[in-house]
Amino acid sequence: MKEMKMNQQHQSCKNKEKEQLYKIGMFANMNRVTIKTLRYYDEQKLLLPVYVDEENGYRYYAAGQMAQLHRIIALKNMGFSIDDIRKIIDGVEEKSFLLEKKQEILKEIAVFTDKLSQVESYLARESINLSAPVLIKEIPQVIVCTMKRRIKSYDALFELMPQMGAQMELSDCKCAQPAYCFTHYLEPEYKEEDILVEICEAVTEKKQDSGEIAFKVFPTVPMAACIFHKGSYNTLHESYAMLLQYIEKNGYEICGNIRESYIDGVWNKETENEWLTEIQIPVK
């Protein structure tokens, strides 16, 4: 073996004749990594060769360095940055880094699980009358004019809305733009009759309450599971079923009253097939 001199940045070894050394190519093959990777770890001071031949620049590694290399590879596969790996190798307490990485990975899993569920809901929309998949989004704060009633059936909503519109005209209300008209269901359970509802229309400002209508501010809903339903209100239950299944499957919890937002309907579309409704359910 040619006489070698230590690079100032590399370790010394007094017993080099007694230690089995491997050229960088052999060491790379033994550990299933590339020569480029070993050179990079050398540059980053993660794994320094035992010797560097001054004449030809050949790097030599010892068998005892395999464990260190495998540790670096394992940490890298976990997603640790080079800086974090360097800190761990330099003696920073490893367990705290691993626990932090675990939480980071769990958050990433939750994000990808949510994306997968959205893909699945998008594929499933072909089986029912949906115009878009489930989406988790924020619902901004809104000022509304409301009319609260207990109705016999959902058909009564068609009678209430014109009544509220007439009262809004008497109070000189100006509807907000974009328009936001929705039914706010005030009871958690689904009922076919004797339903307590609040008809709401977004307005530009609060007016004086009257016997028929009142004004309030709905605060921001940080997260709501939402789905668009296109078509007759008679098939809304199919969209509700998909939305509730999505909420349960993805570990969300309902934390507020349901809203049905009416975007297109009998007032501007000729056929039921063109009606568009958004179901909004606050979740956490």
- Per the structure, the count of domains in the chain is 2
DSSP string, 224-242: EEEEEEES-GGGHHHHHHH
Phi, psi (5° rounding) for residue 212? -100, -40
Locate 194 and state its tokens.
Answer: 């004797």
In a domain, 186, yes or no: yes
What's at 275, amino acid-wise?
Answer: W
Q: Report residue 16's pLDDT band, with 50, 70 and 90 as the boundaries.
A: very low
Convert the pLDDT of each residue in 36-84 to its tens digit: 999 999 999 999 999 998 888 889 999 889 989 998 998 888 888 898 8
pLDDT attached to residue 120: 67
| Mean pLDDT, residues 165-170 taken together | 89
Q: State the alpha helices, DSSP H only, in 44-189.
A: 66-77, 82-89, 94-124, 157-170
Domain enclosing residue 197, as ranges? 135-282
Each residue's pLDDT tens digit, 209-250: 988 899 999 999 999 999 888 888 888 888 888 888 888 888
User: Could you tell me the pLDDT band of residue 261, with boundaries at 50, 70 and 90?
Assistant: very high
- Quick one: 146 and 227 in the same domain? yes
Q: What is the pLDDT of residues 96-122, one digit of tens each?
A: 878 888 888 888 887 787 777 667 666
CA dihedral for 246, 250, 253, 256, sign (positive or negative): negative
Whether the upstream peptide bond of residue 178 has omega within 30° of 0, thus cis, is yes
How sure is the predictor about 187, in pLDDT bands with cuts at 50, 70 and 90? Answer: confident
DSSP-derived pairing of the beta strands 142-151 and 59-62:
unpaired
Measured CA to CA, the distance from residue 53 to residue 7 in angstroms comes to: 8
7 lies in some domain: no
Task: Record the pTM.
Answer: 0.57
120 in any annotated domain? no
Confirm whether 3 is domain-assigned.
Answer: no
User: For the domain that residue 267 is a member of, what is the CATH number?
Assistant: 3.20.80.10
In a domain, 103, yes or no: no
Contacts of 21 (CB under 8 A, 6+ apart): 50, 51, 60, 61, 62
Measure the CA–CA gap between 195 and 144, rounded to whole angstroms.
20
Contact (Cβ atoms closer than 8 angstroms) between residue 155 and residue 236: no
